[in-house]
Amino acid sequence: MHWQDIIFSIGSWIFAIALIPSILSKDKPALSSSLLTASLLTVYVPTYASLGLTVSAISGGSVALAWWILAYQKWQSNKNRPKP
């Protein structure tokens, strides 16, 4: 295991844990922010894997998944909001 794999994976796990309150809360980040962040993090996963940073790819995938969940929740919230 590379030392970079350890650093990236620890940071990703911390970010994933930090997003749990947002996932459980009724307040969500903007849909555009969630989609952009989720998309970029999803691109990082195969990039990490191609560098042999397997643990970083897995932990990065967990953060990307958290952002995709937030994007979906915001989309559902916007869809279900009554029109003025």
Instruction: Say if residue 80's pLDDT is above 90.
Output: no
Confidence of residue 15 (pLDDT cuts 50, 70, 90): very high
User: How far apart, in Å, do the first and last CA atoms of the chain sit?
Assistant: 55
Instruction: Say if residue 71's pLDDT is above 90.
Output: yes
- Give the pLDDT score at 69: 98
Query: What's the domain count of the chain?
Result: 1
Residue 28 sits in which domain range?
A: 3-80
Q: pLDDT per residue over 36-69, tens digit each?
A: 999 999 999 999 999 999 999 999 999 999 999 9
The closest alpha carbon to 15, from 80, 70, 77, 78, belongs to 70
- Give the pLDDT score at 67: 98
- Give the pLDDT score at 59: 97
